[in-house]
């Protein structure tokens, strides 16, 4: 499973653009359509896709896409 690829696909859907490049170092400021509102949609879509549920404190600790991916990996390892 390539989580970065899956997250990139989700981000393209949520932000309604195919014109983004996502790496583990990507932050909200790198993507014009990544707002506080679209961030909520992103989290919900990631949770649905991977069938996991993040805790609020966990989300608040994310500083980039890599942090999100590590959280996803952590949840998936517990399944």
In this prediction, residue 79 carries a pLDDT of 79
- pTM of the prediction? 0.94
* Domain of 33, in residue numbers: 3-77
pLDDT tens-place string over residues 66-78? 999 999 999 999 9
Rg of the chain on CA atoms, in Å? 12
Helix pair 3-14, 36-50: axis angle to 10 deg: 130
Whether residue 1 has pLDDT greater than 90: no
For the chain, the domain total comes to: 1
Dig out the tokens for 57 from the structure: 């404190």
Cα separation, 79 vs 18, in Å, equals 31
CATH of the domain at 67: 1.10.1200.10
Give CA–CA dist 69/10, Å, rounded. Answer: 13
pLDDT in tens, 8-52: 999 999 999 999 999 999 999 999 999 999 999 999 999 999 999
Distance, CA of 73 to chain centre: 12
């Amino acid at each position: 499973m390539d989580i970065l690829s899956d997250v990139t696909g989700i981000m393209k859907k949520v932000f309604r653009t195919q014109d983004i490049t996502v790496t583990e170092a990507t932050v909200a400021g790198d993507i014009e359509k990544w707002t506080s509102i679209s961030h909520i949609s992103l989290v919900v879509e990631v949770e649905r896709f991977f069938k996991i549920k993040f805790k609020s404190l966990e989300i608040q600790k994310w500083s980039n896409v890599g942090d999100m991916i590590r959280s996803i990996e952590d949840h998936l390892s517990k399944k």
